Chain A
Amino acid sequence: MFRASNVTPWLYLLPVLLAVIVWVYEPLGQAAWLSFYEWDMLPDTAKRYVGLANYRNLLALPKLWQALGNTAIYMLGLLPFAVVIPFAIAIHTQDLPAHFRNIYRVMIFVPMIVAPVVAAAVWRWLLDPAHGLLNRAITSLGFHPVGFLSDPHVAIWTIIFITGWKLVGFATLIAAAANAAINPALIEAAKLDGASSWAVIRHIRLPLLSSTALLLVTMSLLLGAQWSFVYISALTDGGPLGATTNIYYLLWDFGFSSGAVGWSAASAVLLFLLFALLAVGLVRLSDRLSFHDN
């Protein structure tokens, strides 16, 4: 081989590597660096080195703990939409004729390609306290209207529901594809042995579906709170009283509303560490579980 071939692959890789370094890794380093400074992002004000003060202040901030708690609620609250409902539906509807399945498929996938802002706008309209269709139905039944986006106890669940609405059909298609890939001979054999249909689900389908399920769990745990960002930004601005603020929105709020770059950077570093830890844990788990497939 020529020596030149040592350089050639790097030439082909150059655009991608340059892009990820410039837009991801260098900024990651810069965020870490900024987390030790106090700065309001105005070009003519000086950055002031404050050591670990940003971290100390941040950890003493009730807002941060509220946002972290909310982030956990978002992650766990999405699991029914991303995992439980899709698998229940996929297993339950597997015997439908292919013709019907295709029609349903086309319809339930639609929310996935709708822009998040459009979803936010439409649900804002449907859930409007005074004139929204849902509250009109609720009041016509004699109940008080629900402040879906203004009641601090309800708003976060509304955001989770909208995030889930966009996801559930697509997750159902993924679950159905995994379910359809199970060798029917296994099911037949179990039925011949007298297994009840619940036993078939419990002891054959679910174990064989576990790696797909874990993929969906991983995705919703790692990305769910991020998917909600658009709805928080467009619908609640993190309110009422911070009730819908998750860690991603808090970063945005620190950085661009409060202008507290150091705090935003410090929480970015904390978030990145938490995120990486969670990701490593989930990837380990999925490596262990994937033996089921063989």
Chain B
Amino acid sequence: MTTDSIALPFPATRPATRIWPKGLAGHLVMVLLSALSLFPLYWMVISSLRPANAMFETSLWPATATLANYRYTLRAIPVAQMLGNTVVVSTCVTLIQLLTAILAAYAFTRWRFRGEKLAYSLVALTWLVPLQVVMIPNFLLVADTGLLDSLTALVIPHFASALAVMMMTQAMRAFPGELIDAARVDGSSDWGVLWRVIVPNLGPTLASLAILIFISTWNEYFWPLLLSRSPENTMIQIGIQMFMTAEGNQWGPLMAASTMASLPILALYVVLQRQVIQSFMRSGLR
């Protein structure tokens, strides 16, 4: 087929009047945005490797590199313990939120029942309540149970996530009903159908939710700030804050602590970039 037979009032594409080759402006914009995104982190790593007497140098590549800032940081705060705490809390929260979301989503997809809409709304509307609105009662509740300044205190406010329940419900609703019916004919109980038929087939959703929950718990700042007291019982994000004081900043150790806190997540990202980006995109902006 040719387009010759059609009389076009205008040429389909305008003649190139650009000074630049096509796409160069686009590349330029993206290179700039990429540089803006990455440079602060590059500067963080570079600064963490500078010896104290070269901290204020502005060269983009350190003339001499040293691990002195790391050694100092490791002595000043219990970094290993804090990182360990962060791993434990993030893992627990991820597993618990996945579990509670699986159970709730199963209830919402498997049965039609009275109060279903109300229950779903109760979960979905939790994002309407900002953390700062409920922080004092939550703080008092944790204080009453005597759990202040413990890792448990950092896990228990995170037993359920609206986002996890909603994403899981969506995934289960898309699950083919014939498979469930077939399993029921075979005599499986509701419980058995959930764990033997549905969950093993939700791999991608589970993985994507796990990534999302793990990273956001790792980066959590508000709860540890509220509920932790001693360095041994808190998460690495609070450790970073300890080097930012009104009296003065210890830039080298601050950058070393920030680098150590970020490395696990950045390593995860390097290995699983595509999945990480997808998890966040699927969740919207929460």
Query: Is there an interface contact between B254 and A125, defined as CB atoms closer than 8 Å?
Result: yes
Task: Please give, as numbers and ranges, the residues of chain B lying within 8 Å of A98 by CB-CB distance.
Answer: none
Q: Give the docked Cα–Cα distance between A230 and B221 (Å).
A: 7
Question: Is A96 in contact with B130, judged by CB distance below 8 angstroms?
Answer: no
Is A65's beta carbon under 8 Å from chain B?
no
Q: Mark A21-46, 1 if CB is under 8 A from B, else 0.
A: 11111111011001000000100000
Q: Does A170 contact B (CB under 8 A)?
A: yes
Q: Interface size bucket, B side?
A: 35 or more
**A226 contacts the other chain (Cβ, under 8 Å)?**
yes
- Pairwise interchain contact A191-B12, C-beta atoms closer than 8 A: yes
* Least CB distance, B109 to chain A, in whole angstroms: 10
Cα distance A102–B255 in the bound complex, in angstroms: 29
Known: A16-B103, A20-B122, A96-B30. A118 touches B258 (CB 8 A): yes
Tell me, in angstroms, the Cα distance from A175 to B166 when the chains sit together: 22
When the two chains form their complex, are residues B37 and A110 in contact, meaning their CB atoms are under 8 A apart? yes
- Contact, CB under 8 Å: B244 / A121: yes
Residues of A within 8 A of B23 (CB): 95-97
Q: Is A174 an interface residue (CB 8 A)?
A: yes
CB distance from B130 to the nearest CB of A (A): 6
CB of A276 closer than 8 Å to a CB of B: yes
Interface of B is mostly: helix
Q: Quick check: is B20 within 8 A (CB to CB) of the other chain?
A: no
Contact call A136/B29, Cβ cutoff below 8 A: no
Q: Of A50-58, A152-160, A248-256, which binds chain B?
A: A248-256
| Given known A15-B100, A89-B29, contact A173–B222 (CB-CB < 8 A) | no
Interface residues of B in 213-232 (CB under 8 A from A): 215, 218-219, 221-222, 225-226
Which of B68-76, B175-183, B200-208, B275-283 has 4 or more CB atoms under 8 Å from chain A? B275-283
A13 adjacent to B27 (CB under 8 Å): no
Q: Are A233 and B43 in contact (CB under 8 A)?
A: no
CB pair B37–A107 under 8 Å, yes or no, is yes
Residue of B nearest to A252 (CB): B132
If A17-B119, A95-B23, A226-B130 are given as contacts, then 15 extra A-B residue pairs at C-beta distance below 8 Å, sorted by A number, are A20-B123, A93-B30, A107-B34, A109-B37, A109-B280, A115-B218, A115-B262, A121-B44, A136-B58, A234-B241, A235-B244, A248-B132, A261-B136, A269-B133, A272-B129
